Amino acid sequence: MSKNLQVTIDKDSGFCFGVVYAIDMAEEILEEDGYLYCLGDIVHNDEEVARLKAKGLRIISHEDLQDLQNEKVLIRAHGEAPETYKFALENNITLIDASCPVVLKLQNRIKTSHDDQEKILIFGKHGHAEVIGLQGQTNNEAIVFQDIDELDQVDLPSKFTLYSQTTKSVDKFYAIKNELLARGYEVKANDTICRQVSNRYEDLENFSKQYDKIIFVSGKKSSNGKVLFDVCQSVNPQTYFVSDPNELTADIFSSNDTVGICGATSTPMWLMKKVKETIEGM
- Tell me the pLDDT tens digit for each residue of 104-146: 999 999 999 999 999 999 999 999 999 999 999 999 999 999 9
Distance CA 168, CA 171 (A): 9
- Same fold yes or no, 6-14+196-280 and 17-99: no
CATH class for the region spanning 17-99: alpha beta
161-173 pLDDT, tens digit per residue, is: 999 999 998 999 9
169-205 pLDDT, tens digit per residue, is: 899 999 999 999 999 999 999 999 999 888 899 999 9
pLDDT beyond 90 at 36: yes
The pLDDT value recorded for residue 2 is 76
pLDDT beyond 90 at 240: yes
Phi, psi (5° rounding) for residue 183? -80, 0
* Selection from 233, 197, 241, 246 nearest residue 216 by Cα: 241
C-beta of residue 93 within 8 angstroms of C-beta of residue 62: no
The mean pLDDT value of the chain amounts to 95
CATH class for the region spanning 6-14+196-280: alpha beta
39-81 pLDDT, tens digit per residue, is: 999 999 999 999 999 999 999 999 999 999 999 999 999 999 9
Residue 215: pLDDT band by 50, 70, 90 thresholds? very high
Mean pLDDT of 239-243: 98
Mean pLDDT of 14-34: 95
Domain residue spans of the chain: 6-14+196-280, 17-99, 102-193
- CATH number for region 102-193: 3.40.1010.20
pLDDT beyond 90 at 223: no
The pLDDT value recorded for residue 1 is 60
Query: 180 by DSSP, 3-state: which?
Result: helix
Catalytic positions: 130
The pLDDT value recorded for residue 197 is 84
Query: 57 by DSSP, 3-state: which?
Result: strand
Per the confidence metrics, is the pTM higher than 0.75? yes
pLDDT beyond 70 at 101: yes
Mean pLDDT of 99-105: 96
pLDDT beyond 80 at 157: yes
The pLDDT value recorded for residue 198 is 87
Edge to edge, the sheet with strand 120-123 lists 143-145, 120-123, 159-164, 186-189
